[in-house]
Amino acid sequence: MRRIFHRLMSIEEARDRILRGVRKDLETESVKIFEASGRVLAKSIISRVDLPPFDRAEMDGFAVLSSDLEGASEQRPVALRVAFRIDAGDTELREIRRGECAEIATGAPMPKGADSVVMVEYTKKVGDYVQIFRGTTPGENVASAGSDIQMGELVLRRGTVLGRREVGLLAAMGLGEVDVIRRPRIGLLSTGDELVGQGENLEFGKIYDANSPSITAALYEEEAEVISLGRAKDEYDDIKNRVAEGLRICDAVIVSGGTSAGVGDIVYRVLEDVCDQGIIVHGLNVKPGKPTVVALHQGKPVFGLPGYPVSALMIFNEIVRPYIESVSLKKKGEGARILAKLSERVNAARGRRWFLPVHVIKREGFNIAYPIFASSGAIGTLAKADGYIVINENIEFLDEGKEVQVNLFHDEKSLADLVIMGSNCPALDRLLETLFNKSGIRSKVVNIGSLGGLEAVAKKEADIAGVHLLDPQTMRYNRDFVRRFGLPEESLVKGYRRLQGIMIKKGNPKSIRGLEDILREEITFVNRNRGSGTRILTDHMLRRICEGVGLNFEETTKKIRGYMWEAKTHSAVAAAVSQGRADMGIGVMSAAANYGLDFIPIGYEEYDFVVSPESRKKEAVQEFLSTLKSKEFQEELLKLPGYDMSTN
């Protein structure tokens, strides 16, 4: 039976329903204080001792009676007899009399008869006596018993998260063990016939199970105990048995996948049948994450998260994390947030709250949020994002330059030192890895095509653009485009050459000889995205072919199978040919080699870098340019098929 989301619920309402319905009575357990960091106190702690437990010296010097030092100065020092010395750890209580003092170490117990300590810097020892050049006041440089913590004082309350300071306090009070709240035990079940485990052979139509490892990592970050319930087939009995077992041994269960309104989804039916309190959430008014379902059984929640990794992780943060914090009494607080200006206009999600991933680009005095428009299944895109912005249901659009709040996935220190936008290139990855190994500089690469990279540099959104743009009029690479974007000629830095060509199946089963075969009716082509250097090269070559045979370019492109099919990377082109979805496509030789394809060379192109004038003096940019010319990178470059250093 097909399930329809009749009423989409807000995040706030769903969260409230869950927290009102779940049990919050996790058991306690006793742990040694060496293992207590990060745990939550189950009972308030009342001190059984004073801290410090005795009057002790806070400085190295001499324990004195302050009244003996009246009038002491540099000109008229007071001489006292040194009766004995006291070190930290001495257990004998000794006494001084008027006219005497005791040499004393920091932390040592004060002798009877002394009320203060004069610092050693204001003294000069001469034989059995010491000359003292300044007076003291009662209690000076002395920590009195109980001045830090008094016996009977409540020092740590139930629900306190134990960190280094709290553990140190427990240790100082002599506690070797402490009662803490047991970590919530969360069962994790993945569903889907399309899933295979890491390390298994990836057949066509199958995908690796990304949700189980990523949600497990998220649970560990929340310090939950994770119980794997395995990976279920899309079969009612298999899912039902695993969910029931999870509810028996766990505090909560997470089911990943099988929650959308598709005909074959059965998680909804399982939860209706297994959970005695029924389904309390079915569909959220958010993007991504609409197909979310939550049910309760004897106060234990079952979270049905969407199968797409981006959706699953976003909803985990909004729904599952608050549950864990509530039952464990551990409020981690909000993550780091910063303000940034949008790099472009964003049209909202039509009545749904939208969690939109963004890149964050640090500029002088402000930040830029660069939206990432990707599907809910794009886990690689999410991994590269720095954070996300929340666009509420009542917002129709956000204009370019609008200041927004970015919820960072990590702290601000993790943001990239160097931002590179432009054309996708495998050698650039080698270059940046060499840069990191050499200088520790962290880089962010945003593949938006050569023209997009040039525009980003012109708008001061990127430090560097990677480009390979052929001007059909001059037949030169890159230089003319730099001028068109109003950038100084010295912004262009020569990079390296790479061999472009036609990727075809091993053995060339379609007998393809050149790009002109794209005109054959039985040939399917896979193109690159508009704005990329490879697309400009492809369009230029096809125009020349059309001119040679008297065809109209625009009309011809409409007839070519796949010409409007745009792949965003060289690897995507190679994958399409390798999997038989296309017969030919243009890309670099290294991508063809990775997929075991045959390759018909077209010619070398120049892949160069355009440096933002505002970023030229940045240390990260200078290190990048130095690494580009380094012997280490040149050795790495030559390991890639079809690459060599530019000779221009």
CB count in 10 Å sphere of residue 166: 20
Asked if 17 and 280 touch (Cβ cutoff 8 Å), the reply is: yes
2 pLDDT band (50/70/90 cuts)? very low
Dist. CA 435–CA 633, nearest whole Å: 9
Asked if 209 and 190 touch (Cβ cutoff 8 Å), the reply is: yes
Dist. CA 395–CA 372, nearest whole Å: 18
Q: Is 553 helix (H, G, I), strand (E, B) or coil?
A: helix
- Give the residue-averaged pLDDT of 380-395: 82
- Tell me whether the omega of the peptide bond preceding residue 291 falls within 30 degrees of 0, making it cis: no
Q: For residue 387, give both structure tokens.
A: 């954070």
Instruction: Give the distance, in angstroms, between the CA of residue 591 and the centroid of all CA atoms in the same chain.
Output: 28
Residues 6+ apart with CB under 8 A from 522: 510
Dist. CA 464–CA 621, nearest whole Å: 8
Dist. CA 295–CA 280, nearest whole Å: 5
Q: Does residue 495 register a pLDDT over 80?
A: yes
Question: Domain spans of the chain?
Answer: 11-25+183-328, 28-51+148-181, 56-143, 337-415, 435-645
Dihedral angle computed from the Cα positions of residues 428, 429, 432 and 433, in that order, rounded to the nearest 10 degrees:
-150
CATH number for the segment(s) 337-415: 2.40.340.10
Q: Which of the pair, 307 or 633, is modelled with greater confidence?
A: 633
**DSSP structural state of residue 565:** -
Instruction: Say whether domain 435-645 belongs to CATH 3.30.450.30.
Output: no
The per-residue pLDDT of the chain, averaged, comes to 89
Q: Does residue 266 register a pLDDT over 90?
A: no
Looking at CATH, the fold of the domain delimited by 11-25+183-328 is given as Molybdenum Cofactor Biosythetic Enzyme; Chain A (3.40.980)
Q: Does residue 418 register a pLDDT over 70?
A: yes
The H-or-E segment that residue 185 falls in is strand 185-191
Kindly report, residue by residue over 421-467, the tens digit of the pLDDT: 998 888 998 899 899 888 888 888 888 889 999 999 998 889 999 99
Q: Identical fold at 28-51+148-181 and 435-645?
A: no
Residue type at 441? I
335 pLDDT band (50/70/90 cuts)? low
Asked if 326 and 354 touch (Cβ cutoff 8 Å), the reply is: no
Instruction: Give the distance, in angstroms, between the CA of residue 460 and the centroid of all CA atoms in the same chain.
Output: 25
Dist. CA 276–CA 296, nearest whole Å: 7
CATH number for the segment(s) 28-51+148-181: 3.90.105.10
- Give the residue-averaged pLDDT of 338-358: 87
375 pLDDT band (50/70/90 cuts)? low
Q: Does residue 264 register a pLDDT over 50?
A: no
Q: Is 586 helix (H, G, I), strand (E, B) or coil?
A: strand
Q: Spelled out in words, what is the top-level CATH class assigned to the domain 56-143?
A: mainly beta
Compute the half-sphere exposure of residue 421: CA atoms within 13 Å on the CB side of its CA. 20
pLDDT of residue 402: 93
Asked if 285 and 219 touch (Cβ cutoff 8 Å), the reply is: no
Q: For residue 334, give both structure tokens.
A: 């909000």
Q: Does residue 261 register a pLDDT over 80?
A: no
Instruction: Give the distance, in angstroms, between the CA of residue 230 and the centroid of all CA atoms in the same chain.
Output: 26
Q: For residue 78, give both structure tokens.
A: 């007071």
- DSSP per-residue string spanning 105-119: -TTPBPPBT--EEEE
647 pLDDT band (50/70/90 cuts)? low
Kindly report, residue by residue over 104-162, the tens digit of the pLDDT: 999 999 999 999 999 999 999 999 999 999 999 998 999 888 888 888 888 888 888 88
Kindly report, residue by residue over 577-627, the tens digit of the pLDDT: 999 999 999 999 999 998 999 999 999 999 999 999 999 999 999 999 999
Kindly report, residue by residue over 526-547, the tens digit of the pLDDT: 999 888 889 989 999 999 999 9
Kindly report, residue by residue over 16-71, the tens digit of the pLDDT: 999 999 988 888 999 999 999 989 898 888 888 888 889 999 999 999 999 999 99
Residue type at 600? I
pLDDT of residue 288: 86
pLDDT of residue 290: 87
